[in-house]
Structure 1
Amino acid sequence: MLLRKTMLFSSIIAVLATQSFAYAQTAENAADDGDQSEQKERTLDEVLVTATKRSTPLQETPIAITAIGADTLEKERVNTVQDITNLVPGFSATTQGDHGVITLTLRGIGNDSAKTEYADPEVALFVDGIYTPRAEGAASLLMDLESVEVLRGPQGTLWGRNSTVGAVNMQTAKPDLGDTSGTVQFGLGNYARLGARGAFNLDMGETWALRIAYAHEEHEGYVDYQNPGELLPSVASQLAAYIASGGSADTFQPINQNLFVNGGDKYNAQNQTAVRISSLWQPTDAFSWNLSYEKFRDTGTPNANLMQTPRAGQDFWSTFADVAPYLDRDVDTIRSRMDWQINDGIALSYTAGFSHFEGSSDYDQDGGVQVPTSFTTGATYQQDRTNYSEYENYSHEFDLKSTGDGSIDWILGAYYAAEKNKIRFDIPIFNGTQQGTVAWQGSFIQPKQTVDSRAVFGQITWHASDDLRLTAGLRYTDDSKENIGGRGWGWQGYGHPEIPQVPIAPGTTPSNANGFGFGVGGINDGQYDHGQLTWLARVDYDLTDDFLIYGSVSTGYKSGGLQDGGVPYKHEELTNYEFGTKQSFMDGKLVWNNAVYYEDFKDFQLAAPIIFTDGSRGLGFSNVSGSTTVWGFESELEAAITDVDRLQVVFSAIPKKELGTLLYAGSNDYQGLPACPPASGIASCLDVSGNELAHAPDAALHLVYEHDFEFASGARLTPRVSTHFETESWLSPFNLGDGDKQKSYNRTDLTFRYTPASNNWYADFYVDNVQDGKVRTNAGRTAVGGGQFVYLSQYLPPRTFGLNFGFYF
């Protein structure tokens, strides 16, 4: 069925390709003034990309790559990486509540748990070529970008570290010499949305220019609070339930309704601000230095775990919360790039970056699934609290490469990166309410974790003829990780009535807390070292001036590390076999790119919070043995049906995405898994061997269409419809049924833009998620007794609408 649909889709596109479309490709560069704004929408410009670490035309670059320019980013109202996923084949993003992060999946490969201080994502994020190691980077506010390039498939030669299945490189807008101009945008919408952003280019002389960019986005939370007064049982019923559980009237206390959240900040709120100051110094034609400082601040709230089926009488977008949401992230980043044209044939680049992250959060992990029957029965209270997290990372890269026309293109590079991380994460779990008894509680304190990564690489392309090119690349990476002084403290006060049973406070230090009932549950000290060779072999050939074909075999690698308890886990390797085509028709008026790929993934890392056989808890990593295999087809088309009609089609099919062998997969997010054999080391687990990968629908189709209505005055009204359809997909490797999947869905966004004849301002009216659909991004389940479970998920936003006003000067 899927194969027939794929062939039908390809046939339709082939027919479209033979038609006489009048293509008006967007220039995809930010406008300097109103006239340039009009020009960028009506002329055909060549799209340049930096996927090979040199500027090349997109249609001449033999890599599966999606390039999204500034104009499209503005029209799509992109705030985070999650907002561009529909424009890229096989790309998806999930939200993870307690840390307030976004995790990415590409071509079926990703890891929801790559959200800790030490777990690396399989999709590498770069800003101006500088690696962003932690998953929190995907939630940062994107602003004043020149383009976003998404490279699909392993990029282990040129891009290197942890680009196992692909890389996302965001290019910020750079200052322009000799120009003073700017743009400003203001916006408002439902849920009290307020937005503002702007960019100003300042001419500082013949050799120096500055650019200042600013962005702020905020809206109230989408999730209301359920009223505890309407849900909690009467005091008499509470007393009866408490006595039935073995308590006595002498120790009974009624549930304190003030323990439940009924006001203040709501879950799923946004409040993000970013500022960037960029400098360009170009004293000669042969040398330039781009330097920038960026500040990002996030005081929104995490996304709530919502019941997939609300209790009777409750709204879907609501929660019975006993932990108020809190999120505080602060990131300072410095990026630098120097370019020297040494002579006509050789250029040298030096790229360096430094980033400092601080954050804390508070989260209601239990999701209010159960209503307590007394202060210590009928429900579970679980708070996930990041008391503090602090990450520092810096990197250096030197690239020496050939320039100009020649029969051989080459690049040599050296790379070094280092991280230093620390975190404290507390989890109090109580029976009934915070007033109840301890079910378990612990504190994970990691004072110092370090990462050192060194690499050398080279890539060479031989132009065997005017039409044929052969490319080979190698990279050797040496990774070292060390955990110093990490401890997992767990509750050991069972059976000791003299120990106060209260949730661990942020100021309580378990190691010095005599009488608080904590003991060491895990010693995390250890060191991990591994070296890995990754490589690339590729051939590409011009069948015609407008028809490129290529085939490649490439490898990617992600380092292993140390899990809780100091136990090492293996590195993972991916080998990707790919064939692709890039075609332009009607003098570039229609562009159609395709790729077929097969992935062989060894030792895929799956991680989750688990309970060990001794009752302690921690984050466990498992390597999937054997081969995890994925194959798929991708297609991208851009065209303009007339001078005023533009169309974009993005299609992805992943008919096979099968896990290798993993007999003992566990996760505390999925309660009620069967008991595991003692030899496994964990309390409960499931055999997931051969299951399908998560977030990998069999097929996904995204269509964007816009039309210009031109008035006699010279003004324009441009409606734009962006609609996404995908088949059902699993939300975890457990494949547990309907509660663990997202069903097939369609989601549509609409925009209407008015531009006056002067072209120096515009106004947008938008509606996102017109259908007001409920699209899950993850899942988990809670046991409620009698073999019954309640499933929870986080969701993409509900229907939103608003206005934006922009000005050029």
Structure 2
Amino acid sequence: MTNDRGTSSRRIFAGIAGGFLVSTVMTTPASAQDDPQHGLADIIVTAQRTEGRLQDTPVSVALLSGEELATRGISDPAALQGSLPAVQFQPVGDVLANIRGIGTFNLQPGADAAIAYNVDDIYIAHATGLTPVFFDLARIEALRGPQGTLYGRNTNAGAINIITNRPRLGRLSAAAQVQAGNYDLIATEAMLNLPLGETVAVRISGATQKHDGYMRDGHNDADIYAGRIRLLFAPDQGTELLLTGEYSNQSGLGAGGSSPCLATFAVAGCNRKGWDAYAGNETPVPDDFRSVENIGINGQLAHDFTWATLTAIASWRRVDYASLTTTGDANIPFGDFGYKPSNANQLFTGEVRLNSLASSPVQWVVGAYYSREKMTNRIDRTFLSDTLLGVSEVLDRYRATSRALFGQVTVPLGSRIRLTGGLRFTDEEKSASGVATNYFVVPAASIATGGAESHSGLTWKAGIEADLARASLAYASVSTGFKSGGVNQTPAGFGIPSSYAPERITAYQAGVKNRFLDNKLQVNAEVFYYRYTGFQELLNIFAPGYLAFYTVNSQKARVYGGEIEVVAMPSPDDRFEASLALLDTRFTRFDLTSFGGADYSGNELRNAPPVTANVAYQHRFRLGSAGELTPRIETVISDKYYTDAINSVAGQQASYTQTSASLRYLSANGGWSLTGWVRNLENEAVIYSYFGGRGYPLAPRTYGVTLRFETR
């Protein structure tokens, strides 16, 4: 970061801090005439493992409802990019997320994310376990900041909760949707909610998505189908049993397409004028492919006692993954490069929680968690020159087990102030064993790989919150968390550690949530400071005849910044949204010279723009008996950032804007709608990763129409 840029960041940080103070001072009691029908509606979230109003939850949460996803044409995780402030999505094969500059960009088998992905309250260990297309969703919640007490390990950046619609008792309903757009996009969705008597209901839903590749060599395409069936049994008012089965399959060439953008004459390669971001390989590779099959079953039991609510959850998920991605040009060291992994992963999780009743003056939760993951994996990395040469790595056995006990309590001090304390004890262990074979030598040489990593310890949270007025909440907290360590599948002889330790965080956060002007103006703000030890980064080493990916721990890193988000409804038909996020990241010490690496101290974290702004406006035109028409326009403005840990000039993404727009017609009875939408109106080529002289871009301009029918 240059001095000018650092000065700009400090100035804007001062602005955010000023806005934080202003939003605190401005608090006034909400009028008794508040009417959600003519103002901002209350939103229910489950950020604290129980239902509560968003504005009463002392956690920074960005949210999109199922209706918002549909009206904006967002039908897959990659399309979320730019829609949630301070959250970035990177479609590297699977969609990985960054929250406040913290995330995981890691190709190694068994590497855990810094963000907990949860689907219907069930932890998904890796992004490949997520359904690759959105359908029949209630909402998506992005919890910004560590969630180590209630959500456990691997939540240093936060959590993303995907909540699907539950079966509804006593109501027959159905919905169907079709979407068409450029790149020959065709997507469908259907849902049927069927009551089976007074105490049982079943909900069946499914979706498909298919489009051509955004890269001219065919990469970044989609061919997906998915389905879900949920059965709800509620024998009495206080007991529910919810069973879910889901399946998805995706094929084609898949995400991860890239184009060469080597720096020449000190000009940034991926930002130089004339760079062809969507060219892909010089010569299309017909053998490339990507296949992911995902199946999961789970059961959730909830029972209300007179004094607490018991929740028990068990789930099993299997993911089978295989792909081949080849770069077909001469800019890669050693010639053309192919990466061919195949993976079989199974994950079992179980959790039991006991929550206080919503009416209890003291709010508490206690619980226990268990997970066991096993995996086999094979990776063929092949360099092509005059002869076929390469390296193969086989992971014969991978096991990861985690156990935890946790509890959190919120105690009132008078009528306006509450104190929160939480503890979580975690014990986990990982082990891996395999073999790496180097075909660059004759005869081929095989070396055993693997190792083990285990640890146990306490994480904690201490917080305070206060009702400044009827519709104004202030809160502050200090918390700790960790992201799991792991095992490097690299041969001996390169000086690379066989395992890497957990990364640990201490986070300081303070925020305010306010409603003003008879519920027509919402101003939320949060500032934060993170102190890291052991921050994990994926690096690589080019050696004669070998390319190794490995994860290492930095000694120290720090992250600080803040967000301000404003939502206003000056009239029942107008809605304005604006947010400003500031981020400053730094490896304060990241010295790898002890085993032949470099010193990255002072570098910024990857994919961490110092300044990001989001602005949106929509207006509803009421057409009487003819229905209503709602145009919407939104844009994201991003500062420049680095896309690799070494902060290479060639891989720096320049500042950019990306604009989306939609026009929705809704029939008078609400039974059908027609929406036209466009994303990345500027057709800006934005890279999310840089590796080996190649840039990996986000989607170009996409547009289409969505036709939806549903019973009312």
- Normalising by structure 2, report the TM-score: 0.91
Note the residue ranges of structure 1 that are not aligned, 5 or more in a row: 28-38, 226-265, 372-377, 495-516, 665-676, 782-790
Amino acid corresponding to residue 703 of structure 2 in structure 1: F
1:368 corresponds in structure 2 to: 329
Looking at structure 1, the residues matched to 86 and 275 of structure 2 have their Cα atoms a distance apart, in angstroms, of: 35
The residue number in structure 1 matching 2:532 is 601
Shift of 1:323: 3.1
Report if the CA contact (8 A) 1:82-1:138 is conserved. no
In structure 2, C-alpha distance between the alignment counterparts of 1:83 and 1:592, rounded to whole Å: 26
The counterpart of 1:437, out of the listed 368, 387, 390, is 387
Q: Does 1:449 align with 2:398?
A: yes
Equivalent position to 2:319, from 349, 353, 357: 357
1:382 aligns with 2:310: no
Cα distance change of structure 1 residues 224 and 658 upon mapping to structure 2, 3 Å threshold: same
State how far apart, in whole Å, the 2-side matches of 1:631 and 1:75 are.
Answer: 34
- Is 1:763 the counterpart of 2:674? The answer is yes
Could you tell me which residue of structure 2 aligns to residue 340 of structure 1?
A: 303
Q: Secondary structure at the match of 1:59?
A: helix
> For residues 368 and 130 of structure 2, what CA distance do their matches in structure 1 show?
26
1:407 lines up with 2:361 in the alignment: yes
Q: Is the 8 A contact 2:624 2:668 kept in 1?
A: no
Please identify which structure carries the higher strand content: 2
- Note the C-alpha offset of 1:465: 1.3
The correspondence of residues 521-560 of structure 1 with structure 2, limited to 5 A, is 522-560=447-485
- Flag structure 2 segments of 5+ consecutive residues without an equivalent: 1-7, 262-268, 492-496
Residue 611 of structure 1 and its aligned partner are, at CA, apart by: 4.4
Retained in 2: the 8 A contact 1:103–1:138? Answer: no
CA gap 1:379/1:460 in 2 versus in 1, 3 angstroms: closer
Residue of 194, 198, 210 corresponding to 2:190 = 198
1:561 matched residue in structure 2: 486
Summarize deviations over 1:401-444 as a string: whole Å, max 9, x none.
Answer: 2114333221110000000101111011122xxxx135x51111
Among 176, 179, 194, the residue aligned to 1:184? 176
1:621 has 2:551 as partner: yes
Residues 1:304 and 2:257 are matched in the alignment? yes
2:145 corresponds to: 153
Query: In the aligned structure 1, how far is the partner of 2:211 from the partner of 2:86?
Result: 29
1:662 and 2:564 are equivalent in the alignment: no
Matching residue within 84, 87, 93 for 1:88: 84
Code of the residue aligned with 1:743 in structure 2: it is: A
Q: CA deviation at 1:299?
A: 0.7
Quick check: 1:165–1:574 contact (8 Å CA) kept in 2? no
CA drift at 1:86: 2.4
Q: Is residue 2:519 matched to residue 1:588?
A: yes
Which of 560, 569, 578 is equivalent to 1:649? 578
**RMSD value, Cα:** 2.8
Deviation of 1:80 after TM superposition, in Å, equals: 3.2
TM (norm. structure 1) is 0.80
Q: 1:139 to 1:383 in 2, by over 3 A?
A: farther
- 2:695 aligned to 771, 788, 793, which one? 793
The Cα offsets for residues 709-743 of structure 1, whole Å up to 9 and x where unpaired, read as: 22243421211112110110111121121x21111
Partner of 1:317: 278
Partner Cα separation in structure 2 for residue 139 and residue 180 of structure 1: 26
Corresponding residue for 2:644? 732
Q: Is the 8 A contact 1:633 1:653 kept in 2?
A: yes
- 3-state secondary structure, aligned to 1:141: coil
Q: Which has the higher contact order (CA 8 A, sep 6+)?
A: 2
Task: For residue 660 of structure 1, give the secondary structure of its aligned residue in structure 2.
Answer: strand
CA distance 1:85–1:593, change in 2 (3 Å): farther
Q: Does 1:331 align with 2:280?
A: no
1:209 shift after superposition: 0.4
- CA distance 1:18–1:457, change in 2 (3 Å): closer
Secondary structure, in 3 states, of the residue corresponding to 1:778? strand
Contact 2:73-2:677 within 8 A present in 1 as well: no
Distance 2:239 2:97 in 1: 37
User: Which whole-Å deviations, capped at 9, do the CAs of 1:673-702 have from their partners, x for residues lacking one?
Assistant: xxxx7x61x5xx432111111111111011
In 2: Cα distance, 1:801 partner to 1:475 partner: 46
Q: Which residue of structure 1 lines up, in the alignment, with residue 9 of structure 2?
A: 2
Say whether the 8 Å CA contact 1:762–1:805 is kept in structure 2.
yes
Higher mean alpha-carbon deviation, 129-138 vs 549-558, is at 129-138
Separation in structure 2 between the aligned mates of residue 306 and residue 352 of structure 1, nearest angstrom: 43
Supply the distance in 2 between the matched residues of 1:794 and 1:183 (Cα, whole angstroms): 36
Question: How much does 1:456 deviate?
Answer: 0.3
Tell me if the contact between 1:558 and 1:571 (Cα under 8 Å) persists in the aligned partners. yes
Contact 1:532 1:557 in 2 (8 A): no
Alignment pair present for 1:570 and 2:501: yes
Aligned equivalents of 2:168, 2:353: Cα separation in 1? 24
> Secondary structure of the equivalent of 1:74?
helix
Q: Does the Cα contact within 8 Å between 2:438 and 2:546 map onto a contact in 1?
A: yes
Aligned-partner Cα distance in 2 for 1:581–1:283: 41
Structure 1 residue 471 corresponds to structure 2 residue 464? no
Amino acid at match of 2:337: Q
Give the deviation of 1:315 after TM superposition: 5.5
Give the distance between the partners of 1:193 and 1:152, measured in 2 at CA. 32
> Cα offset for 1:207?
0.2
**Which piece of structure 1 moves more, 473-482 or 636-645?**
636-645
* In the alignment, structure 1 residue 285 sits paired with structure 2 residue 237: yes
In the alignment, is the contact (CA less than 8 A) between 1:272 and 1:296 conserved in 2? yes
Q: What is the aligned length?
A: 684
Are 2:672 and 1:744 aligned? no
1:184-203 Cα shifts (integer Å, max 9, x gaps): 11111111110101221111
The correspondence for 1:54, drawn from 44, 50, 54, is: 50
Q: Cα distance 1:212–1:138, how it changes in 2: closer, same or farther (>3 A)?
A: closer
Q: State yes or no: 1:489 paired with 2:420.
A: no
Q: Quick one: structure 1 residues 700 and 532, their matched pair in 2 at CA, closer, same or farther if it must change by over 3 Å?
A: same
Structure 2 Cα separation of the partners of residues 170 and 461 of structure 1:
26
**Equivalent in the alignment of 1:247:** none
For 1:43 and 1:351, locate their aligned partners in 2 and report how far apart those are by CA, in whole Å: 37
1:518 corresponding residue in structure 2: 444
Question: Secondary structure of the equivalent of 1:206?
Answer: coil
User: In the alignment, does 2:246 pair up with 1:294?
Assistant: yes
The C-alpha deviation readout for 1:138-195, integer Å capped at 9, x for no partner, is 5722221111111111111111121122111111100000000111111111111101
The code of the aligned residue for 1:352 comes to: A
2:96 equivalent to 1:103: yes
Matched residue type, 2:520: K
Q: Deviations over 1:63-109 (max 9, x none)?
A: 1112322221222333333333423332112232xxx1222211121
Structure 1 counterpart of 2:700, one-letter code: P
The answer to whether the Cα contact below 8 Å between 1:69 and 1:148 also exists between their aligned partners in 2 is yes
Identical-residue share of aligned pairs (%): 28
Match of 1:32 in 2: none
After TM superposition, give the deviation of residue 663 of structure 1 in Å.
Answer: 2.4
